[in-house]
Amino acid sequence: MASNNFQAKSGVKVYIAEGTVNATTYQLGDTHVAGDSWIEYPITDYSIPFASAPVEISAQRAGKFIATDNQQVARTDNLTWSFDVTLRGTPDVIEMALGSLIDDGASPCVLAGNYEPPEWKDQTDYTGSMTPLTILFKGAATDDTDVVAKACIATNVEFGEDSGSEGGNLTVKVTFFTAYQPVEATIAASPTLDTGIPKNIRDLESVEINSEPLFATKWNISLSRSIERLPYKNTNTYDPFGYVQTGTLEVGGSLSVKRDDGVNGLLANFTNGTPIGLEISESSGFSVGADLIVLDQSAIDSGGSYLVQDLPFKVLADASSESTAVITVTIS
């Protein structure tokens, strides 16, 4: 008979550690220990990475029509794990999320046009500004211990506010990546509780595109990149030699605004592809700025009692001044 035990998702706590490991310099592949700096952020949802390998069946022998038990191979050699964490948007949450993705986790968080990813080399001193993270799912293991995911870095960060959702609070969703196998173990971490207040769209003071004032009912910003693992170093854990970023770090977003004079002032920009500026500012000490955005297939939303203009956009670097900020996020 199956056990009566079960695991309630609501009983799992999620702790995140960054920085030195046991008072020594972080190296890629390290696991933070109980005495390190753990934080319990205001996490509202999560997925849990799990160590499981796909099975590959090799080519069929001529004249045989059923796969046999000497053809299977568990492909543990090239595994990666991606998982999501959703959080309330406190200052510490924004700094953690952006620090993990753009390597600048201190407000103002700036992504410059000449950004280069840090080097991620297994068991080599990490020289970036913010180390990869250890993420602890407390009580999520099958024996009620913990699931531990180490060497985690962000591949996607999306944050925004919506007057019709979450009470207008800023929400943040981070997709994390690791190529190190998650384990079930116990870490007796004592985290610091993030008691910061989430930012809220009701504190919005101004939204401007190309200096045109707009009334926004919701907005979001997204930053994303692709990370791949290198080949494995051994056949015990199949840890990689490291990680590499492939391709462009893409920045974009969208706003939904009331159709009025401000939208009328942008009519030419819906078709000419000319880069223009964006500024979102709140009275609570929170702002997002980008000097060069291009509007991307704007549309009218006529589903409510008044007309709304949806304004998707892409954020670009300055080709003539690569060190110029692409996007700046200030939060306190």
Where are the chain's structural domains?
11-49+75-331
Look-up of token digits 């799990």: 50
Pairing of strands 192-193, 38-40: parallel
pLDDT at 5: 80
Q: What is the mean pLDDT of the chain?
A: 96
Per the listing, tokens 């870490």 go with: 187
Across the range 57-73, mean pLDDT stands at: 92
pLDDT tens sequence across 203-246: 999 999 999 999 999 999 999 999 999 999 999 899 999 999 99
Q: Is pLDDT above 90 for 261?
A: yes
Mean pLDDT of 62-82: 92
Q: How confident is residue 1, by pLDDT bands cut at 50, 70 and 90?
A: confident
Q: Give the separation between CA 173 and CA 86, rounded to whole angstroms.
A: 4
Two tokens, residue 152: 């985690």
Is beta strand 81-88 parallel, antiparallel or unpaired with respect to 43-46?
antiparallel
Q: In this prediction, what percent of the chain has a pLDDT beyond 90?
A: 92
Predicted local confidence at residue 231, as pLDDT:
96
Q: How far is Cα 213 from Cα 266, in angstroms, rounded to an integer? A: 10
Residue 219, beta-bridge partner list? 161, 255
Strands 171-178 and 212-214: unpaired
Contact between 163 and 201 under an 8 Å Cβ cutoff? The reply is yes
> At which residue do the structure tokens 């008072």 appear?
23
How would residue 144 be classed by pLDDT, with cut points 50, 70 and 90? confident
Q: Are 274 and 294 in contact (CB under 8 A)?
A: yes
pLDDT at 101: 98
Answer whether residue 7 shows pLDDT above 90.
no
- Please state the separation of Cα 176 from the chain's center in Å: 6
Q: Give the per-residue pLDDT at 198.
A: 98
**Residue 315 confidence (pLDDT) above 90:** yes
Residue 8: what pLDDT? Answer: 87
Categorize the per-residue pLDDT at 313 as very low, low, confident or very high, splitting at 50, 70 and 90. Answer: very high
Q: 136 Cβ partners below 8 Å, 6+ apart?
A: 14, 15, 16, 17, 38, 146, 147, 148, 149, 187, 189
- Residue 217 and residue 256: Cα distance in Å, rounded? 6
| Tens digit of each residue's pLDDT (9 = 90 or more) over 293-312 | 999 999 999 999 999 999 99
- For residue 4, pLDDT beyond 90: no
Q: What is the mean pLDDT of residues 97-105?
A: 97
For the chain, how big is the Rg over CA atoms in Å? 23
pLDDT in the model for residue 96: 98
**Beta-carbon contacts of residue 99 (< 8 Å; ≥ 6 apart):** 18, 105, 106, 109, 129, 130
